[in-house]
Structure 1
Amino acid sequence: MSTEGFAPPPQSPAPATVSGRRSFPGARSVAALVLREMATSYGRSPGGYIWAILEPIGGILMLSLAFSAFLRNPSLGISFPMFYATGMLPFLMYSELQGKIASALNFSKPLLAYPTVTFVDAILGRFILGVMTKLLVSYIIFGGIMLLEETRVTLDFLHIFESFALAALLGLGLGTITCFVFTRFPMAQQAWGIVTKPLFLVSGIIYLYETIPHPYQSYLWYNPLVHIIGIMRKGFYPTYDANFASPVYVLSIALISLALGLLLLQRYHAEILNR
């Protein structure tokens, strides 16, 4: 049969071209969400970022004044502000990231109607800004304490960054899975708030893990924040071993939570957004 008069079928674009085209809108979406988050979280009130610094400083000062009134020295070192800062700052890195990411879908719901913006973009935007902000705040507070007080600490940057990285990953992992749970089952958010209220007291911020008597010490070991704070203090106090701290344990919880949360959001995010 003659093939004259028949046009060849249209060729589909090469996969590499398609993936290349899609990567740039994704990066632009994340950048736009970061800028939007900066404007809404820190640009609406006077001071903005100043309050992000003053809030943890206020907490550290209150703990320092309260415990220095009846203790001669903190559990490690000679500086009460430094001891409590090494506990509070990694705790805040985790808790604020978890809270921000857990509400990422509700916060960015109007933008998720656009095909170029995905739920992953919404999570990444809050994660990136949260990590950058907390690292900057921690740098200012740690640096200020070392300038204003005699601390006698020796910085081990490997352990310091390890602690912050684990805190950020734990916040990302638990934030992602609670993002699904909170948007799918709104009442779960109130239950989570009640259950996690005691975290500040049971994470080793105001005491050392080793000072807790048995059997309560073995129970506290399962709190991943105890490990993160132990690693942070190891990065400031070279005589502190923190041999109980297991980065593998924290990393396992963070990655399992992240994988499960992403799978559930991938499966149900369209249904959640259409409510």
Structure 2
Amino acid sequence: MVSADSPPSAALPPPVEPRLRRVGRRRPFASFRSIGALILREMSSSYGRTPGGYAWAILEPVGGIAILSFIFSVLFRNPQLGISFPLFYATGMLPFMMFSTVNTKVAQALNYSRPLLAYPSVTYLDAILARFILNFLTELMVAYIVFTGIILMFDTRVILDFPSLGLAFALAGALALGVGVLNCFLMTAFPLWQQAWSILMRPMFILSGIMFIYDAVPEPVRDWFWYNPLIHIVGITRRGIYASYDAPYASPLYVMSIAGACGLAGLFLLWRYHRLLLQR
């Protein structure tokens, strides 16, 4: 019982409801964190266990191109453009290798990062972009080292057109990403497609104009070669190296159309079926 002389009790403040974070809402910049973590994971898992680490990702293709350039320069002393066969070979091989390597890495993104895709903060787009960024930058570094080494070691007499070179490697990266995204779905959904794609890519070394220029192909066959987007990329690369070579047949719009069509088709299929693919 409360006495009359006792002071009135102070009013209690209303209870404060805890603020709950909305379920399903991703943290700001979560994709950037996931992509960065996936890049570091691939660098450590793929190259961290070997002496030299990530440097081998650059030195191995550089050494391979140097050896092949020396062999072919002995067999073919007079290139169809310029006076240096190693440089002529590199202008065809480097963009082809960028497409082939980056496309293969992107196509295997879901299978490579499958355990991490069980976490809600990691999406299939994060896995694809992480592999693309790492391998695209690696191939750019390889191209820079090879071109710089050839120009310094040989009498090339070239005037570099940097906008054309930048366009060529940007197109190679875009084509590799677009085709790689479509192959990512196909290789995950149909494992036999990986072997079929490997067979289809073997003649591309010849059909992409690495050892010759498009203009030297006879007319009935030349029209068919035009539909190979790598022919356009190699032509733009050589336009950036040889001032006298214009490559009027090369169409960046055609390359971007192929890259965009493949990329959009692959993204739609992955968006529609990626959960089913990850449960297999």
Answering whether residue 163 of structure 2 is matched by residue 158 of structure 1, we say yes
Q: Which residue of 2 aligns with 1:3?
A: none
1:191 aligns with one of 183, 186, 196: 196
Q: Which residue of 2 aligns with 1:7?
A: none
Aligned-pair Cα RMSD in Å: 2.2
Gaps of at least 5 residues in structure 2 are: 1-17
What count of residue pairs does the alignment treat as equivalent? 263
Distance 1:68 1:159 in 2: 25
Distance 1:48 1:92 in 2: 21
Distance 1:204 1:48 in 2: 33
2:34 aligns with one of 18, 29, 33: 29
Answering whether residue 179 of structure 2 is matched by residue 174 of structure 1, we say yes
1:242 aligns with one of 247, 250, 273: 247
Is the contact made by 1:102 and 1:176 (CA closer than 8 Å) also made in structure 2? yes
Q: 1:241 to 1:39 in 2, by over 3 A?
A: same
Residue correspondence of structure 1 range 1-275 to structure 2 within 5 A: 22-275=27-280
Q: Deviations over 1:106-162 (max 9, x none)?
A: 000000000000000000000110111111111111111111111111111100000
Q: Deviations over 1:58-110 (max 9, x none)?
A: 44334433443344421111111111111111111111110000000000000
Amino acid at match of 1:132: L
Is the contact made by 2:79 and 2:85 (CA closer than 8 Å) also made in structure 1? yes
Distance 1:205 1:261 in 2: 28
- The alignment's TM-score, normalised by the length of structure 1, stands at 0.89
Amino acid at match of 1:87: G
Q: Deviations over 1:174-214 (max 9, x none)?
A: 00000000100111111111111111111011111111112
Q: Deviations over 1:195-240 (max 9, x none)?
A: 1111111101111111111211111111100000000000010100
Distance 2:59 2:35 in 1: 28
SS of the residue 1:69 aligns to: helix
Gaps of at least 5 residues in structure 1 are: 1-9
Is the contact made by 2:76 and 2:85 (CA closer than 8 Å) also made in structure 1? no
Amino acid at match of 1:150: D
Is the contact made by 1:97 and 1:130 (CA closer than 8 Å) also made in structure 2? yes
Give aligned-pair identity as a percent. 56
